Amino acid sequence: MRNPLRKRYIRELRRDFGKYLAISLFMIMLVGLVSGYLVAADSIEKTFYEGWEKYNIEDGHITFSQTPPKEVLQEIENAANLTFYNLEYQEEDIGANGAKLRIFQTRTEVDRSCLMEGNMPAAENEIALDRMFAENNNINIGDTITLNGNVIKVTGYVALVDYNCLFEKNTDMMFNAQLFGVAEMTPEGYAAINSKLVSANYAWKYTESVSDEKDESNRSEELMKTLEKVLRSYNENLVKAEMEAAYENGLDPSTIEFNEEDLLMVESYVPKYQNKAVTFCMDDMKGDKPTFILFDYIVTVILAFVFAVNISSSIQNEAGVIGTLRASGFSRGELVRHYLFMPTLVTIIAALIGNVLGYTIFVEYMKGVFYNSFSLATYESVFNSEAFLITTVVPLVIMTAINLYMLIRKMKLSPIRFLRRDLAKKKKRRAVLLNKKMPFLTRFRLRILFQNISAYITLAFGIMFGGLIAIFGFMFGPLLVDYADLIVSEKICDYQYVLINQVETSAEGAEKYCIGSLEISLEGYLTDEISIYGIEENASYITKSIPEGKVFVSEGIMKKYGLKKGDTLTLQDSYNDKKYEFVVADSYPYSAALAIFMNRDEYNETFDKKDDYFTGYFSNKEITDIASDDIVSVITESDLTKLSDQMMQSVGSFMKLFKYFGAIMLSLLMYLMTKQVIEKNAQSIAMTKILGFKDKEIAGLYLVMTGIVVFLSILITIPVTDITLRWLFEGYLYTQMSGYLPYIVSKSCYVYTALITAVCFVLVSACMFIKIGRIRKSEALKNVE
Amino acid sequence: MFIEISNLKKHFGEGESRVEVLKGIDIEIEKGEICVLLGPSGSGKSTLLNIIGGIDDADDGYIAIDGEKTANMNEKGLTQYRRKHLGYVFQMYNLIPNLNIRENIEVGAYLSDHPLDTEELLHTLGLFEHRHKLPSQLSGGQQQRCSIGRAIVKNPDILLCDEPTGALDYNTSKEILKLLEDINKKYGNTIIMVTHNDAIRNMADRVVTLRDGKVRRNYKNENKLSAEELDW
């Protein structure tokens, strides 16, 4: 005979349909989101690594200061056992927003492109643009763009395997797919662009494939050494030849000033495993994955506690029945299984539906999020057994373990204890003493709190976690706006000119400056590029005068690396390992980049430059008397804020998700736990009705107490969130990302979250007020021993 | 002897609040007897019933059912003992609110390898017409009939009834007593009934009166009346 208790499940489901529906929908959403994310991430990862082979990705690339002679390349190839491939590129500004396009010839050997839409360029005046860049700049297939005066037709969208993340430079903190993009043209078309910014860029592939990252790292170090050796020899020969030529021409070789620009130098050396344009996407996904999984588990634990509180309340209400069943011969195990059935069923159903939605709807959403951020090749969703394990098996285990533990503890009591409704683990000697001077209603509310403490604790934790998620979702928008404002308010000038040639200007207010870059590489942090500014003494664009022999350090560096006044900051030149030490005079408010500021004459001395050397001009007005051929770039506000713009674009969708999820979680828990308290106290409420209390007064007792718990929880959430987010920034973000993002939580985030909580509470209270009204007075007369 | 209770002792509390509830009880009950346990509140009759039912344990002494001592049984064995041999009826009916009357009785049937026919029992209980109703739709007497049905459907050797008429009015109480009497006659179960209603002793085969944890009187009722003849 089948156990007749089974018939209760459907009836229980029907009776408490709202509760089960709410929990199920929430779990479905949770599983769907996490499963969608994991499936999309896993599918992308699979396609990503397959793409390395399919498109023959480079093992790294080197940008030389000028095109190296063939014999130099050959010497390196032979010594390092690799092959170079010419991936020279030109860069041109495009459009009014200052977006920069890096143009390559159509790649045929390494780093081949994936055509996403349209056709590859076939004619001289045709170009295929990176999909993301084109979409961000509203450039459609068939549109035309102008590159160095040439009108070019866009024939298709591509994804380049070595630019799935559109980092302009490897040391950039964040990429900006709106202001930087890549493109391919036919060799003829490429030649016709005739840009003045041409980079002698070469990709390399080792003859023998690398076995792992360690091998890759070792080989990269070997290559660095080979490069240094070959280039030093080449440059020495160059200098020697020039001196010999001078000697032959009857000149004194010691008086010859050799032009550094004639030397063959490495401008950029990026092995694949360090190339953010290649690795950032996967690193980002791999970083997000544990967050999503942890998020899944924490929410499941909270939901498991919701069920545990609910079951605990059912056991209390049905104590007499349980006692009778136990006395009649039902075993503990049978009853444990009976009460465990519903949470298990809800979890299984929600996990299955969630997985179906994860594979169909949410995966598309997540795919959209990834495609909005990364320039990825096309991919197919693949079944992910790990996602199934994480979203179905583990939550089921969590749900079962927590409820099983609670049920085993509860069911340990003897049948007689159930029959006597004596379910307290410890005998209470007496009720908690409350001060008699306290108003009666306050004491009544406190009794409600004590009686329902487990429900209120679950509610408080749920609100804190939901609040944390919501605040996290709310904070990024204002943070990026505030960060952009900070960058703009702290900018050095309106126009920062970087010149090719040192030309003079008569522009009013223009001040010369030098700029270079070094790296900081400390254990536990990623390598950061630090801009080194050489500033005129008493410069008007820097608000404080820099003490001799010392430097001002931007606040980002100070905070990220925990520096103080008087500390010594050691930086190094990444290409020759030369180290430089700087004494910190003070911090300087500059948030656009990690930078240090020193006097120009000290800069020139430190970096062996001539006394009158400078890189460009600071100016608050546009300089008109410098020919455009002499200008490398002009840095304006939009260049400075591109980091925050891109972050907004790439993380915005995720943040929206967090916001909504947090809000839904707050409402759900408030609804479930308040309902729980009301249902548990139905008899007491009925009794107070019999005594003459009005529904409004009863609501004042039960809902006000819930309101106080909600208010206190959200109040605690603020410092808890602050501590957690600070920890996340300092412990995670600063060590896992290069660059610096200040920790700014706008007060509006807390206000929004508090407002959402208040709105949820009002809605839930309205529902519960109706519920209180529906409790019949006869409820009080139900059989209670 | 079917049920043998020997020198049974039980206390509650410790120190100053220690109360000796049973102070050495000796009772023997034959198979098929209706045994009524009488006594004022606090005399220990419910405690004795609970120990017989294996839902409470004694400090000393033993209970043997058909020669088998319950004290020798572990938790699992006690559950099996209750499952196979006992039926319980309480003053509070403790019916499962979201199962209908038939299903509540089936809960008892599920526990037995050889349950009685539910349809027939519903007729015997006078609940056939109400079999699809939920407990909340029935009167107290009907609910108690249902709880008796749940206990009896598994055809237990022993039916333990703790104040089965305690929450019922005169007429309904008599109906319930009549039902228990009919069941005893029809199925031959041993019934041990705790009550503080002195009149019920008249329908018993054996009457045991407890006071202050001791047996005051223990006798076979030679002038047994039918439940219908009872009056109080």
pLDDT tens for A436-491 read: 788 888 888 888 888 888 888 888 888 888 888 888 888 878 888 888 888 888 88
The rounded percent of chain B whose pLDDT value lies above 90 is 57
pLDDT tens per residue, range A756-766: 889 989 998 99
Size of interface A-B (CB pairs under 8 A): 88
CA distance A494 to A621: 7
Q: Is the Cβ pair B88, A15 closer than 8 Å?
A: no
pLDDT tens per residue, range A519-556: 888 887 877 889 999 998 888 888 788 888 899 999 98
pLDDT tens per residue, range A580-605: 999 999 999 988 888 999 999 999 99
Q: Which helix (H) or strand (E) holds A64?
A: strand A60-64
Yes or no: say if A512 and A539 are a contact pair by the CB < 8 Å rule. Answer: no
How far, rounded to the nearest angstrom, does the alpha carbon of residue A86 sit from its chain's CA centroid? 34
Nearest CA in chain B to A16: B98
CA distance A591 to A638: 14
Residues of B in contact with A15 (CB under 8 A): 98
Put simply, whether B141 touches A (Cβ < 8 Å) is no
Closest CA–CA distance from residue A9 to any residue of chain B (Å)? 9
Q: Determine whether A213 is exposed, middle or buried from the number of CB atoms within 10 Å of its CB (0-12, 13-18, 19+).
A: exposed
Put simply, whether A778 touches B (Cβ < 8 Å) is no
CA distance A213 to A688: 72
Confidence of residue A341 (pLDDT cuts 50, 70, 90): very high
Number of Cα atoms under 13 Å in the Cβ half of residue A459? 28
Residue A785 has pLDDT above 50, yes or no: no
* Amino acid A430: pLDDT: 62
Yes or no: say if A313 and A410 are a contact pair by the CB < 8 Å rule. Answer: no
Residue B220 has pLDDT above 90, yes or no: yes
Q: Is the Cβ pair B55, A328 closer than 8 Å?
A: no
Yes or no: say if B96 and A5 are a contact pair by the CB < 8 Å rule. Answer: yes
Put simply, whether A1 touches B (Cβ < 8 Å) is yes
Residues of B in contact with A12 (CB under 8 A): 98
Residue A428 has pLDDT above 70, yes or no: no
Nearest CA in chain B to A14: B98
Closest CA–CA distance from residue B43 to any residue of chain A (Å)? 18
Nearest CA in chain A to B91: A785
Put simply, whether A2 touches B (Cβ < 8 Å) is yes
What are the CA-CA distances from residue A384 to residues A17, A313, A356, A366, A391 (Å)?
32, 38, 12, 15, 11
Confidence of residue A784 (pLDDT cuts 50, 70, 90): very low
Residue A429 has pLDDT above 60, yes or no: no
* Amino acid A540: pLDDT: 86
- Beta-strand pair B86-89/B158-162: parallel
Yes or no: say if A753 and A662 are a contact pair by the CB < 8 Å rule. Answer: yes
Residues of A in contact with B109 (CB under 8 A): 1, 4
Residues of B in contact with A8 (CB under 8 A): 96, 98-99
Nearest CA in chain A to B153: A328
Q: Is the Cβ pair B83, A414 closer than 8 Å?
A: no
CA distance B67 to B2: 7
Closest CA–CA distance from residue B224 to any residue of chain A (Å)? 29
How far, rounded to the nearest angstrom, does the alpha carbon of residue A124 sit from its chain's CA centroid? 40
| B142: phi then psi, degrees, rounded to nearest 5 | -65, -40
Residues of A in contact with B79 (CB under 8 A): 326, 329-332
Residues 6+ away with beta carbon under 8 Å from A30? A296, A299, A300, A350, A354, A661
Residues of B in contact with A4 (CB under 8 A): 99, 103-104, 106-107, 109-110
Put simply, whether A429 touches B (Cβ < 8 Å) is no
pLDDT tens per residue, range A554-575: 998 998 888 999 999 999 886 6
Among A78-92, A275-289, B60-74, the range scoring the smallest mean pLDDT is A275-289
- DSSP symbols for B205-225: SEEEEEETTEEEEEEE-SS--
Put simply, whether A329 touches B (Cβ < 8 Å) is yes
CA distance A164 to A328: 68
- Beta-strand pair A528-535/A595-599: parallel
CA distance A38 to A286: 10
Instruction: Give pTM, 2 decimals.
Output: 0.74
DSSP A149: T
Q: Is the Cβ pair A328, B82 closer than 8 Å?
A: yes
The two three-digit tokens of residue A765, written as one number: 């209270």
The two three-digit tokens of residue A707, written as one number: 């309101």
- The count of other CB atoms within 10 Å of the CB of residue A147 is 23
Closest CA–CA distance from residue B223 to any residue of chain A (Å)? 33
pLDDT tens per residue, range A72-102: 999 999 988 999 999 999 999 887 677 889 9
* Amino acid A120: pLDDT: 95
Q: What is the mean pLDDT of chain A?
A: 86
Q: Is the Cβ pair B109, A1 closer than 8 Å?
A: yes
Alpha helix positions (H), B55-168 = 75-85, 101-110, 118-125, 140-152
How far, rounded to the nearest angstrom, does the alpha carbon of residue B9 sit from its chain's CA centroid? 20
* Amino acid B127: pLDDT: 92
Task: Please compute the mean of the pLDDT values over residues A624-632 and round it to a whole number.
Answer: 80
pLDDT tens per residue, range A366-398: 888 888 888 888 877 787 888 888 889 999 999
Nearest CA in chain A to B115: A1
Residues of B in contact with A329 (CB under 8 A): 79-80, 82-84, 86, 111, 154
CA distance A358 to A36: 4
Look up the ipTM and state it: 0.85
Residues of A in contact with B147 (CB under 8 A): 324
Put simply, whether A334 touches B (Cβ < 8 Å) is no
Residue A708 has pLDDT above 50, yes or no: yes
The rounded percent of chain A whose pLDDT value lies above 70 is 95
* Amino acid B27: pLDDT: 94
The edge-to-edge listing of strands for the beta sheet with B60-65 is B19-29, B3-12, B60-65, B68-69
Task: Please compute the mean of the pLDDT values over residues A239-260 and round it to a whole number.
Answer: 76
Yes or no: say if A240 and A124 are a contact pair by the CB < 8 Å rule. Answer: no
Put simply, whether A315 touches B (Cβ < 8 Å) is no
Residue ranges covered by each domain of chain A: 1-52+290-427, 60-276, 430-491+638-785, 495-635
pLDDT tens per residue, range A638-665: 777 776 776 776 677 777 778 888 888 8
Helix (H, G, I), strand (E, B) or coil at A109: coil
Put simply, whether B83 touches A (Cβ < 8 Å) is yes
Q: Is the Cβ pair A419, B111 closer than 8 Å?
A: no
Closest CA–CA distance from residue B124 to any residue of chain A (Å)? 21
Closest CA–CA distance from residue A757 to any residue of chain B (Å)? 35
* Amino acid B211: pLDDT: 92
Among A93-102, A108-117, B91-100, B143-152, the range scoring the smallest mean pLDDT is A93-102
Q: Within chain B, what is the greatest distance between any pair of CA atoms? A: 54
Helix axes A440-451, A695-727, angle to 10 degrees: 60
pLDDT tens per residue, range A732-776: 777 767 778 888 888 888 888 888 889 989 998 999 899 898 888
CA distance B91 to B49: 13
Nearest CA in chain B to A324: B94
Yes or no: say if A619 and A511 are a contact pair by the CB < 8 Å rule. Answer: yes
Where do we find the tokens 């029907």? Answer: A14
Residues in chain A, overall count: 785
- The count of other CB atoms within 10 Å of the CB of residue B88 is 30
What are the CA-CA distances from residue A446 to residues A428, A685, A717, B229 (Å)?
17, 15, 22, 55
* Amino acid A154: pLDDT: 96
Domains of chain B plus CATH, in order, are: 3-229 (3.40.50.300)
- DSSP symbols for A318-337: THHHHHHHHHHT--HHHHHH
- Beta-strand pair A180-185/A99-105: parallel
- Beta-strand pair A99-105/A60-64: unpaired
Q: Is the Cβ pair B82, A320 closer than 8 Å?
A: no
Q: Select from A328, A330, A413 the residue whose CB has the most chain B CBs within 10 Å, as the one to mutate to test that interface.
A: A328
Closest Cα to residue A469, out of A652, A662, A289?
A662
* Amino acid A464: pLDDT: 85
Residue A632 has pLDDT above 80, yes or no: no
Q: Is the Cβ pair A331, B79 closer than 8 Å?
A: yes
Which has more pLDDT, B120 or A185? A185
